[in-house]
Amino acid sequence: MSHAAQIVDDRAASTGSLSGAEEPAGHPHGVRATARIRATYNGRATTLPQLRSDGPFHLRRMRTDGNSAKVGIIGAMSAPLGGDRLTIDVTVEDRALLEVTTAAATLALRGPTAAPATYDVRLTAGEHAGLRWLPRPLISAADSNLRQTCHVELASTARLLLREEQILGRANEDPGHLVSRLLVHRAGRPLLDQQTAYGNPEPGWDGPARLHGHRAVGQLLLVDPKMGTRHDPVLLRTGSRDGCAVLTPLADGRALLATAVAPTSSVLRELLDEALAHALRG
């Protein structure tokens, strides 16, 4: 098999199966951890009957004003490192409202082995439930190797605000190898399915059709069944060198996606914040 064929096949295999049915073997030095959050609605407010910290994920209940719940994820150890198998499983049951954040950026490092780490996020939201998944950026450090998936299952009336930011390399270093898939189903049908892959040995990853020198990419997804179905695309900055973004409706309607590329994490956040302001105004 050629070099290119090997890469394409590896990439497909690593983030292809999102069913969670088969547990990957992991590496003997790697950490295996699954953190779980379950939010339910008791008729007055959202409660958290399950809050299971595990491995590097320390979960902390946070104070909120209204009847929603908020959980902060605090890194209890450096992760993911090569060979780790990490999962976060979040379920928001019917009518419950939950926001999840992280206290610090997630830093993917090489660790004791060059084997890939996996980091799987599974988000499920029931009827009339609301989930805000707003972690800090994921940083792909030099020589790290991470396969990340984010698999979202939404009931037809569920609301979602999801932000993903990827920073490719710490200051002035090349990124590691980062393959990431975002798959969102609504009412069992695919709403959004995107896989990105950056860093060596991905073919053309920094070329003019992909990063073109940018080191920060991100997305913001807003799903709201009450949203009007008519949205014109919004272009945020039209050059490409200094960062740019678009806010566009997905095919299914009642869902908006902002896509941004930028030279730095701060410009990326500015673009996504601007896009969110547009989305909420619309």
Decide if 92 contacts 130 (C-beta within 8 A): yes
List the structure tokens of 25. 């073997």
* Positions 112 through 141 that interact with other proteins (CB under 8 A): none
Question: What DSSP string runs through 92-109?
Answer: E-TT-EEEEEESS-EEEB
> Length of the chain, please?
282
Contact residue for other proteins among 69, 154, 161, 245 (CB under 8 A): 245
272 lies in the binding site for other proteins (CB under 8 A): no
Per CB under 8 A, contacts with other proteins among 203-232 are 203-205, 207-212, 214, 217, 219
At residue 11, the 3 state secondary structure works out as: helix
CB of 32 to other proteins, least distance (A): 24
Total binding residues for other proteins by CB under 8 A?
56
DSSP string, 120-158: EEEEEE-TT-EEEEEPPPEEE-TT-EEEEEEEEEE-TT-
List the one residue from 40, 87, 144, 196 that touches other proteins (CB under 8 A): 196
Instruction: Figure out which of the listed residues 39, 131, 168, 191 binds other proteins, where binding follows CB under 8 A.
Output: 191
**Residue partners of 207: CB distance under 8 A and separation at least 6:** none
Binding stretches for other proteins (CB under 8 A): 2-5, 7-9, 11-12, 16-19, 181, 183-184, 189-197, 202-205, 207-212, 214, 217, 219, 233, 235, 238-241, 244-246, 248-252, 257, 259-261
